[in-house]
Amino acid sequence: MANHQSALKRIRSSEARRLRNRYQLKTTRTYMKRLQESTDKSEAEKLYKEVAGMIDKLAKKNIIHKNKAAHQKSHLAKHVNQLS
């Protein structure tokens, strides 16, 4: 166990950051699934803008890799474009 105050604070802050990152990632995945299940093109386009922003934020904060973010956005855009 850590003996220094700074080490104890680091443990607390990293746990808070870990929980926040997990929450943001899980929320984004939920929105992605909702977008995949949508069949209405106008609704899907609106949802895609929101989801793309969420994915970009995750990549910017290094929660996910930037290439993974690009792959996910591409996959979702392909789905939206196939809707009629």
3-59 per-position pLDDT tens digit: 899 999 999 999 999 999 999 999 999 999 999 999 999 999 999 999 999 999 999
pLDDT band at 84 (very low <50, low <70, confident <90, very high): confident
Phi and psi based region of residue 62 (left: phi greater than 0; alpha: psi -120 to 50; beta: remaining): left
Give per-residue burial for 8-24: e unless 16+ CB within 10 Å, then b.
eeeeeeeeeeeeeeeeb
**How much is the pTM?**
0.87
pLDDT band at 65 (very low <50, low <70, confident <90, very high): very high
- Domain extent listing, the chain: 5-82
pLDDT (average), residues 65-72 = 98
SS3 content of the chain, % helix, strand, coil (to 5): 85, 0, 15
Superfamily of domain 5-82: Ribosomal protein S20 (1.20.58.110)
The tokens of 78 are what?
A: 């392909």
Instruction: Tell me the DSSP string of 9-33.
Output: HHHHHHHHHHHHHHHHHHHHHHHHH
